[in-house]
Amino acid sequence: MKIQNQHIQDVNKNIIEDHNDSFDFLANKLTKNGHDVNTILSKLAEFQVAIPSWALGAGGTRFGRFGFYGEPTTLEQKIEDVGILHSLTQTAGAVSLHIPWDVPQDYNAVSELASSLDIKFDAVNSNTFQDQKDVKESYKYGSLSNTSQAVREQAIQHNIDVIKIGEKLGSKALTVWLADGSCFPGQNNFQTAFQNTQDSLKSIYKDIPEDWKMLIEYKPYEPNFYSTVIQDWGASLMLANECGEKAYTLVDLGHHLPNSNIEQIVSILSLKGKLGGFHFNDSKYGDDDLTVGSIKPYALFLIFNELVYGMANNPQNPDLAWMIDASHNVKDPLEDLIQSLEAIQEAYAKALLIDQKALKEAQLNNDVVKCQEILQGAYRTDVRPLIEKARLDRGGAISPIKAYRELDLRNYLIKERGRNTVATGL
């Protein structure tokens, strides 16, 4: 299924006037305050976020899963769904595959379909947190950290196979997240588990192509509930440093203990040139994988303030991999992802309005009140006309949710795919 652009323009027609009024008003105000609106619009246009292939169907928990009709059941249908998101938002120009949930059957067909929808392949994700039916060793007691060499070697080989799949699709990064850890005190020798993981990652690293990155994702707990081998940014950073210059940390916003200062973590990893990318989502308690910006939008804004500062002042840090990692228990997966994409664009646009020079000066003068005035002045600006304009200029929808509903896309997918189709993934 591919959306005809004329259909999007038809929906835009009814709200273009309101948009133009609010955009002109905001653009005039920002220009008067010394902002270069066109630069902000082009930065928003360049900002492409990868959609997780494992989050295009309904998610669930151990307490149940409530399906969403018309879910994609093939990789091709998943790429079509990313195409729908990109047509409407013009900011979802990439997909991140999870192996073995999304092994392409026909690489050429998949590549052609993706490029016809202007979709690139972002990082590929390995999976050594589930046992696959046709493999010899079990990951019950861990994978790269496992006390069994045979299990570690199987997990290392899987990661190397994932790199090969990514190479065929033009991907440039491998994301490694390990569930490895323990559920009870005494179950693991922490040092042995960490050393095994380090040695295993270094084996995988040998197969990381020259122009690739290895992104090491940390997480404090779940599915293990006493210890996790790669539990926090420090463990990920140590392992990335041990591996080499192509290895970086990956920050999943939901992988932090309550009240962690994630913006400070992001700032320091960028300073050290070891910030590789993000899994955007939001959470109230644990790794809830909720819609980005739905619980802590100010925290997201503060993170983007550090990212904007880092992108301007840390040439030692590479271009970042931007990805969403969410799960949809009660919302239409495509509407949920649209809201996440909008929240990311909004946080970025507000952060681009921060007068970094004035902020630095106020910080040097310890003018604490002025620092907050500068930050919150930007945060309190309604930037929606800017992100609407950035979309409109490239043929997108002024209001993607409005367009998605007025074009009745979910029912279209149900007609095309049937009601009770279930997507692979979480």
Shortest Å distance, C-beta 130 to ligand LRH: 10
Cα dihedral 44, 46, 52, 53 sign: positive
User: Pairing state of beta strands 60-61 and 64-65?
Assistant: antiparallel
Q: Are the beta carbons of 349 and 384 closer than 8 angstroms?
A: no
Identify which of residues 286 and 297 has a Cβ nearer to ligand LRH in the complex: 286
Q: Is 326 helix (H, G, I), strand (E, B) or coil?
A: coil
Cα dihedral 308, 313, 317, 319 sign: positive
If one asks whether residue 68 binds ligand LRH (CB under 6 A), the answer comes out as no
Token pair of 152 as six digits: 């570690």
Q: In whole angstroms, what is the distance from residue 275 CA to residue 290 CA?
A: 23
Q: Phi and psi (nearest 5°) for 195?
A: -65, -45
Among 81, 122, 252, 342, the residue binding ligand LRH under the rule CB under 6 A is 252
Among 35, 213, 279, 389, the residue binding ligand LRH under the rule CB under 6 A is 279
If one asks whether residue 81 binds Mn ion (CB under 5 A), the answer comes out as no
If one asks whether residue 98 binds Mn ion (CB under 5 A), the answer comes out as no
Number of chain residues interacting with ligand LRH (CB under 6 A): 10
Q: Are the beta carbons of 216 and 238 closer than 8 angstroms?
A: no
If one asks whether residue 325 binds ligand LRH (CB under 6 A), the answer comes out as yes
Give the CA radius of gyration of the chain: 22
Shortest Å distance, C-beta 361 to Mn ion: 37
First to last CA, the chain: 23
If one asks whether residue 125 binds ligand LRH (CB under 6 A), the answer comes out as yes
Q: Are the beta carbons of 97 and 169 closer than 8 angstroms?
A: yes
Q: Which residue is nearest to ligand LRH (CB)?
A: 177
Give the contact letters, 106-145, x = binds to Mn ion (CB under 5 A), - = no: ----------------------------------------
If one asks whether residue 246 binds ligand LRH (CB under 6 A), the answer comes out as no
CB atoms under 10 Å from CB of 334, counted, come to: 24
Q: Which of Mn ion, ligand LRH, none lies near 256, with the C-beta cut-off 5 to 8 A by kind? A: none
Alpha helix stretches (DSSP H) within 353-399: 356-364, 368-379, 384-392
Q: Which of ligand LRH, Mn ion, none lies near 404, with the C-beta cut-off 5 to 8 A by kind? A: none
Identify which of residues 228 and 317 has a Cβ nearer to ligand LRH in the complex: 228
In what order do the strands lie in the sheet containing 120-121?
120-121, 94-96, 50-52, 321-324, 275-280, 247-252, 213-217, 173-177, 124-125
Element (H, E) at 208: none
Residue type for 317, please? N
Identify which of residues 219 and 274 has a Cβ nearer to ligand LRH in the complex: 219
If one asks whether residue 426 binds ligand LRH (CB under 6 A), the answer comes out as yes
If one asks whether residue 279 binds Mn ion (CB under 5 A), the answer comes out as yes
Number of chain residues interacting with Mn ion (CB under 5 A): 3
Identify which of residues 177 and 379 has a Cβ nearer to ligand LRH in the complex: 177
Stretch that binds Mn ion, among 51-59, 92-100, 121-129, 246-254 (CB under 5 A): 246-254
Among 35, 219, 274, 328, the residue binding ligand LRH under the rule CB under 6 A is 219
Q: Provide the binding-site residues for Mn ion, judged by CB under 5 A.
A: 252, 279, 325
Q: Provide the binding-site residues for ligand LRH, judged by CB under 6 A.
A: 54, 125, 177, 217, 219, 252, 279, 287, 325, 426
